[in-house]
Amino acid sequence: MKQPHEDVSGIDRSGDDLLSLDMRAVAHRTALAAMATHLHSAVSVGNPAPAVARMSERLRHPQIGDFVLEWMVGLTPRRDLDSRIKAMGYLIEKRREWWTTDEEWQRHLAEELACRREYDPDAELDEDDLERSTEEAWYIQYGPDPGDICRWTNCSFIVVPIDPAEFSNSVGTRNSDGSVTITRDALLADLADSGFQFRLPEMTP
Protein backbone atom coordinates (compact mmCIF):
# COMPACT_ATOMS: atom_id res chain seq x y z
CA MET A 1 0.00 0.00 0.00
CA LYS A 2 1.41 3.39 -0.97
CA GLN A 3 1.44 6.68 0.92
CA PRO A 4 -0.31 9.79 -0.40
CA HIS A 5 1.57 11.21 -3.41
CA GLU A 6 4.08 8.34 -3.38
CA ASP A 7 5.40 7.52 -6.89
CA VAL A 8 2.98 9.96 -8.51
CA SER A 9 4.41 12.34 -11.09
CA GLY A 10 3.14 14.23 -14.09
CA ILE A 11 4.78 14.97 -17.42
CA ASP A 12 5.72 18.14 -19.25
CA ARG A 13 2.58 19.30 -21.07
CA SER A 14 3.76 22.81 -21.90
CA GLY A 15 2.37 22.47 -25.43
CA ASP A 16 -1.12 21.41 -24.28
CA ASP A 17 -3.47 24.41 -24.37
CA LEU A 18 -6.10 22.49 -22.41
CA LEU A 19 -3.91 22.83 -19.32
CA SER A 20 -3.09 26.50 -19.72
CA LEU A 21 -3.14 28.32 -16.38
CA ASP A 22 -3.22 31.71 -18.04
CA MET A 23 -6.12 33.69 -16.59
CA ARG A 24 -7.42 34.24 -20.11
CA ALA A 25 -7.94 30.48 -20.37
CA VAL A 26 -10.16 30.26 -17.27
CA ALA A 27 -13.29 31.14 -19.27
CA HIS A 28 -12.49 28.35 -21.73
CA ARG A 29 -12.03 25.83 -18.91
CA THR A 30 -15.31 26.93 -17.33
CA ALA A 31 -17.17 26.56 -20.63
CA LEU A 32 -15.65 23.11 -21.21
CA ALA A 33 -16.67 22.04 -17.70
CA ALA A 34 -20.22 23.29 -18.26
CA MET A 35 -20.57 21.37 -21.54
CA ALA A 36 -19.23 18.21 -19.92
CA THR A 37 -21.73 18.40 -17.05
CA HIS A 38 -24.62 19.07 -19.46
CA LEU A 39 -23.59 16.08 -21.59
CA HIS A 40 -23.44 13.87 -18.51
CA SER A 41 -26.94 14.99 -17.50
CA ALA A 42 -28.25 14.44 -21.04
CA VAL A 43 -27.15 10.80 -21.15
CA SER A 44 -28.26 9.97 -17.60
CA VAL A 45 -31.76 8.92 -18.63
CA GLY A 46 -33.96 5.90 -18.19
CA ASN A 47 -34.26 3.33 -20.98
CA PRO A 48 -31.44 4.88 -23.03
CA ALA A 49 -30.76 3.98 -26.64
CA PRO A 50 -27.68 1.73 -27.01
CA ALA A 51 -25.54 4.64 -28.22
CA VAL A 52 -26.60 6.77 -25.25
CA ALA A 53 -25.95 3.90 -22.81
CA ARG A 54 -22.42 3.50 -24.17
CA MET A 55 -21.79 7.24 -23.84
CA SER A 56 -23.05 7.24 -20.26
CA GLU A 57 -20.90 4.23 -19.37
CA ARG A 58 -17.81 5.85 -20.88
CA LEU A 59 -18.37 9.21 -19.18
CA ARG A 60 -18.88 7.64 -15.74
CA HIS A 61 -15.78 5.42 -15.81
CA PRO A 62 -12.63 7.45 -16.48
CA GLN A 63 -9.42 5.62 -17.34
CA ILE A 64 -5.83 6.66 -16.75
CA GLY A 65 -4.90 9.26 -19.37
CA ASP A 66 -8.45 10.61 -19.80
CA PHE A 67 -9.19 14.31 -19.57
CA VAL A 68 -11.55 14.51 -16.60
CA LEU A 69 -13.65 16.81 -14.44
CA GLU A 70 -14.62 16.51 -10.80
CA TRP A 71 -18.39 16.27 -11.05
CA MET A 72 -19.45 18.35 -8.04
CA VAL A 73 -17.13 21.22 -8.89
CA GLY A 74 -18.54 21.16 -12.41
CA LEU A 75 -22.04 21.52 -10.98
CA THR A 76 -21.05 24.50 -8.85
CA PRO A 77 -19.22 26.90 -11.19
CA ARG A 78 -19.10 29.55 -8.47
CA ARG A 79 -16.63 27.51 -6.45
CA ASP A 80 -13.33 29.24 -5.77
CA LEU A 81 -11.00 29.63 -8.75
CA ASP A 82 -8.31 27.33 -7.35
CA SER A 83 -10.77 24.44 -6.99
CA ARG A 84 -12.18 24.95 -10.47
CA ILE A 85 -8.71 24.92 -12.02
CA LYS A 86 -7.54 21.84 -10.12
CA ALA A 87 -10.80 19.95 -10.79
CA MET A 88 -10.03 19.51 -14.49
CA GLY A 89 -7.07 17.83 -16.14
CA TYR A 90 -5.57 14.48 -17.06
CA LEU A 91 -6.13 11.50 -14.77
CA ILE A 92 -2.67 10.15 -13.99
CA GLU A 93 -3.45 7.79 -11.09
CA LYS A 94 -6.41 6.30 -9.25
CA ARG A 95 -5.76 3.94 -6.37
CA ARG A 96 -6.49 2.92 -2.80
CA GLU A 97 -3.73 4.15 -0.52
CA TRP A 98 -3.00 4.98 3.10
CA TRP A 99 -4.99 7.87 4.52
CA THR A 100 -1.83 9.27 6.16
CA THR A 101 1.86 9.23 5.32
CA ASP A 102 4.19 6.79 7.07
CA GLU A 103 5.61 9.69 9.08
CA GLU A 104 2.18 10.77 10.24
CA TRP A 105 1.26 7.19 11.12
CA GLN A 106 4.40 6.69 13.20
CA ARG A 107 3.69 9.96 15.00
CA HIS A 108 0.17 8.73 15.73
CA LEU A 109 1.54 5.47 17.13
CA ALA A 110 3.97 7.36 19.38
CA GLU A 111 1.15 9.55 20.68
CA GLU A 112 -1.04 6.51 21.29
CA LEU A 113 1.74 4.74 23.22
CA ALA A 114 2.41 7.84 25.32
CA CYS A 115 -1.29 8.07 26.14
CA ARG A 116 -1.44 4.43 27.25
CA ARG A 117 1.67 4.77 29.41
CA GLU A 118 0.04 7.56 31.35
CA TYR A 119 -2.11 4.83 32.90
CA ASP A 120 0.30 1.90 32.61
CA PRO A 121 4.05 2.67 32.49
CA ASP A 122 4.74 -0.84 31.16
CA ALA A 123 2.19 -0.66 28.34
CA GLU A 124 3.34 -1.74 24.91
CA LEU A 125 1.81 -1.03 21.53
CA ASP A 126 1.22 -3.62 18.85
CA GLU A 127 0.58 -2.00 15.47
CA ASP A 128 -1.77 -4.87 14.64
CA ASP A 129 -4.06 -3.61 17.40
CA LEU A 130 -4.65 -0.39 15.49
CA GLU A 131 -6.30 -0.22 12.09
CA ARG A 132 -4.57 2.13 9.67
CA SER A 133 -7.19 3.78 7.49
CA THR A 134 -7.12 3.81 3.71
CA GLU A 135 -9.00 5.81 1.10
CA GLU A 136 -9.42 6.02 -2.65
CA ALA A 137 -7.39 8.85 -4.17
CA TRP A 138 -7.47 10.40 -7.63
CA TYR A 139 -4.47 12.31 -8.98
CA ILE A 140 -5.09 14.94 -11.63
CA GLN A 141 -2.51 16.88 -13.62
CA TYR A 142 -4.27 20.21 -13.95
CA GLY A 143 -1.43 22.31 -15.36
CA PRO A 144 1.44 22.04 -17.86
CA ASP A 145 4.22 21.52 -15.30
CA PRO A 146 4.91 17.93 -14.09
CA GLY A 147 4.38 19.19 -10.54
CA ASP A 148 0.91 20.57 -11.25
CA ILE A 149 -0.82 17.64 -9.56
CA CYS A 150 -3.84 17.69 -7.27
CA ARG A 151 -4.86 14.77 -5.04
CA TRP A 152 -8.63 14.31 -4.70
CA THR A 153 -10.59 12.12 -2.26
CA ASN A 154 -14.33 11.76 -1.61
CA CYS A 155 -14.88 12.81 -5.18
CA SER A 156 -16.55 11.76 -8.41
CA PHE A 157 -14.90 12.32 -11.78
CA ILE A 158 -16.39 12.16 -15.26
CA VAL A 159 -14.69 12.05 -18.63
CA VAL A 160 -14.50 15.26 -20.64
CA PRO A 161 -14.66 13.94 -24.23
CA ILE A 162 -12.00 15.84 -26.15
CA ASP A 163 -11.51 13.22 -28.88
CA PRO A 164 -13.90 13.74 -31.84
CA ALA A 165 -14.10 9.95 -32.25
CA GLU A 166 -14.66 9.27 -28.54
CA PHE A 167 -18.07 7.66 -28.98
CA SER A 168 -17.73 6.24 -32.48
CA ASN A 169 -18.85 2.65 -32.87
CA SER A 170 -16.73 0.73 -35.32
CA VAL A 171 -18.88 -2.01 -36.82
CA GLY A 172 -16.08 -3.80 -38.63
CA THR A 173 -12.55 -4.78 -37.66
CA ARG A 174 -9.93 -4.41 -40.36
CA ASN A 175 -7.67 -7.44 -40.71
CA SER A 176 -3.99 -7.46 -41.63
CA ASP A 177 -4.79 -8.53 -45.21
CA GLY A 178 -7.10 -5.54 -45.70
CA SER A 179 -10.36 -7.44 -45.32
CA VAL A 180 -13.00 -6.46 -42.75
CA THR A 181 -14.67 -8.76 -40.23
CA ILE A 182 -18.15 -7.81 -39.00
CA THR A 183 -19.60 -9.64 -36.03
CA ARG A 184 -23.31 -10.21 -35.47
CA ASP A 185 -23.26 -8.26 -32.18
CA ALA A 186 -21.50 -5.27 -33.78
CA LEU A 187 -23.99 -5.21 -36.66
CA LEU A 188 -27.00 -5.39 -34.32
CA ALA A 189 -25.54 -2.61 -32.16
CA ASP A 190 -25.06 -0.39 -35.20
CA LEU A 191 -28.62 -1.02 -36.39
CA ALA A 192 -29.97 -0.26 -32.92
CA ASP A 193 -28.03 3.01 -32.87
CA SER A 194 -29.70 3.91 -36.16
CA GLY A 195 -33.14 3.58 -34.59
CA PHE A 196 -34.12 0.05 -35.63
CA GLN A 197 -36.32 -1.82 -33.20
CA PHE A 198 -35.96 -5.56 -32.82
CA ARG A 199 -38.63 -8.05 -31.99
CA LEU A 200 -37.97 -11.05 -29.83
CA PRO A 201 -38.44 -14.36 -31.69
CA GLU A 202 -41.84 -15.92 -31.10
CA MET A 203 -41.79 -18.81 -28.68
CA THR A 204 -43.19 -22.06 -29.95
CA PRO A 205 -44.92 -24.42 -27.57
Q: Say how far apart CA 200 and CA 203 lie, in whole Å.
A: 9
Domain carrying residue 75: 17-102+134-166
Contact (Cβ atoms closer than 8 angstroms) between residue 191 and residue 171: no
Q: Do 158 and 204 belong together in one domain?
A: no
- Average pLDDT taken over every residue of the chain: 84
Q: Do 162 and 174 belong together in one domain?
A: no
Q: Do 21 and 73 belong together in one domain?
A: yes
Q: Do 157 and 181 belong together in one domain?
A: no
Q: Is residue 170 scored above 60 in pLDDT?
A: no
CA distances from 18 to 10, 28, 87, 125, 195 (A): 15, 9, 13, 50, 35
What are phi and psi for residue 138, nearest 5 degrees?
-115, 135
Domain assignment of residue 93, yes or no: yes
Q: Do 151 and 185 belong together in one domain?
A: no
Q: Do 175 and 154 belong together in one domain?
A: no
Q: Do 151 and 192 belong together in one domain?
A: no
Give bridge partners of residue 89 from the DSSP assignment: 68
Q: Do 59 and 157 belong together in one domain?
A: yes
pTM more than 0.75 = yes
Q: Do 56 and 145 belong together in one domain?
A: yes
Q: Say how far apart CA 42 and CA 115 lie, in whole Å.
A: 55
Q: Do 97 and 176 belong together in one domain?
A: no
Domain count, the chain: 2
Q: Do 195 and 138 belong together in one domain?
A: no
Q: Is residue 205 scored above 60 in pLDDT?
A: no
Give pLDDT tens digits for 22-72. 988 888 888 999 999 999 999 998 888 878 888 899 999 999 999 999 988
Residue 180: which pLDDT band, with cuts at 50, 70 and 90?
Answer: low
Query: Which H helix or E strand runs over 93?
Result: strand 88-98
Q: Do 82 and 139 belong together in one domain?
A: yes
